[in-house]
Amino acid sequence: MKTIYTIILAIAYTLFSIRPAQSQGCVAVRHMSCAAPVGTNSADFFKQRSGHWQVSAGYRFFRSYKHFVGDQEQKQRVEQGTQVINISHALDLGLTYMVNPRLSFSVNLPIQYYDRSSLYEHYGNSATQNPDHKRFHTGSQGIGDLRISGSYWVVNPAKLPKANLAVGLGVKLPTGNYRATDQFHKLDKEGNDYTVTLPVDQSIQLGDGGVGINVELQGYAQLATGLALYANGFYLFNPRETNGVVRNPLATSIDLVTGTFSVADQFAARIGLSQSLGFMPGLSVMLGGRVEGVPAIDAFGGSSGFRRPGYIVSVEPGLAYMRHKTSVAATVPVALYRNRIKSYSDRLDPLGQKHGDAAFADYLVSINVSRWF
């Protein structure tokens, strides 16, 4: 029985504490630490106790630089040095209260640091505009959008430890700054450098400005001694259409379809296997698949405004270790397939030729630590 509990605890930790939320590149509007639910994972599930608290911290990193139009990589961007490079660091701070072995409530707040370098946003990509091929940086840092959620096991885990399903519901609040600005370099008619203050790109905004509702499902099943299946799915509904931030305030006219930032839905799903390692109790290895992204059309509300929709399919290896009430886990999802799908505005092109691009990362690093009290 102890072996079974170790397996299930490792799976529960994989499902509830690893929050691989941020999309690997500038497809996503911003970092979202809720592609998988927060909290609700330790041995307390099986002890019929209540009133327990968990604190958690999760670090995320990615570097996006490969541009795609559809699923075709624009390799010339890297070769020519015109690629946009986004570097993202995020620390997710979480607090969970377990009411009983089936019901828990969680709060998660991301702290983010973004750096973005490009040519086109400053002097330009062409040799005529930018003969010295100068690249400049913009960035943002601060808290992101707060999420409050609840999760409930369909069956009491203490009575059915070998398989279970949990459902969750949460609200995402616009606590992150969705109007972050920085200095952009320009050239005057005489070729002299000057700077203007403009909104940073949507991909490095700290929030999206909308109140969202997320739904989630997660479950596990023991397949054999030491081997278990895990899966989870997440969808964030963002009914607000745009947040009012003008993408390019210097433009002589504002495009009603793409001139302001869109408040987009987001989604993620994971499935995989976890194998406990007998030589070290509490240690398990995981291997799974994962898909995440931003749809072109929201489930509710309008879909106009500027967004870079698309999705990433990744293979996700990882390790998890649990000892007493402390858990540590790490995963490194590696992108296998990337697709920048047509946006709402792309689809309005009567000739069907318009198709924007987006930059993606090759991999994402995710490290998590949690402790129950």
- CATH assignment of the domain containing 297: 2.40.128.130
- What is the band of 22 on the pLDDT scale with cuts at 50, 70, 90? low
Query: Is residue 18 over pLDDT 60?
Result: no
Cα(61)–Cα(301) distance, integer angstroms? 31
CB within 8 Å of 97: residues ≥ 6 apart? 51, 52, 53, 104, 105, 106
Supply 373's token pair. 């009290």
Q: What percent of the chain has pLDDT over 70?
A: 86
DSSP state, residue 353: -
Q: Strand ranges (DSSP E) for the chain?
A: 52-69, 72-73, 85-98, 103-118, 136-143, 146-153, 163-173, 181-187, 193-199, 212-224, 227-237, 242-246, 260-262, 266-276, 283-294, 310-323, 326-331, 334-339, 358-372
Neighbouring C-alpha atoms within 13 Å toward the C-beta of 250:
10
What pLDDT score was predicted for residue 340? 97
User: pLDDT (tens digit, 9 = 90+) per residue, 122-156?
Assistant: 999 998 999 999 999 999 999 999 999 999 999 98
- Give pLDDT, residue 51: 61
Reported pTM: 0.89
- How many angstroms separate the CA atoms of 156 and 168, rounded? 15
pLDDT band at 24 (very low <50, low <70, confident <90, very high): low
CA 91 to chain centroid: 12
pLDDT of residue 27: 54
Answer whether 348's CB lies under 8 Å from 330's CB.
Answer: no
Is residue 159 classed as helix, strand or coil in its secondary structure?
coil
- What average pLDDT does the chain have? 89
pLDDT score recorded for residue 26? 57
Average pLDDT, stretch 289-310? 96
What would the mean pLDDT of 355-371 be, rounded to a whole number? 96
Residue 25 has a pLDDT of 57
The domain tally of the chain equals 1
pLDDT confidence of residue 261: 97
pLDDT score, position 29: 41
Q: Which two tokens stand for residue 129?
A: 């505009």
For residue 234, is pLDDT > 80? yes
- Structural domain harbouring 249: 2-372
Task: Return the structure tokens found at 24.
Answer: 């690997």
Average pLDDT estimate for 223-250:
94
DSSP state of 201: P
The pLDDT value given to residue 46: 40
Using the predicted structure, report yes or no on whether residue 196 has a pLDDT greater than 50.
yes
In this structure, of 42-46, 236-240, 317-321, 345-349, the range with the lowest mean pLDDT score is: 42-46
Judge whether residue 370 has pLDDT over 80: yes
Least confident of 1-15, 42-56, 183-197, 337-351: 1-15
Q: Which residue did the predictor score with more confidence, 21 or 259?
A: 259
Residue 42 predicted with pLDDT over 80: no
What is the reported pLDDT for 15?
Answer: 53
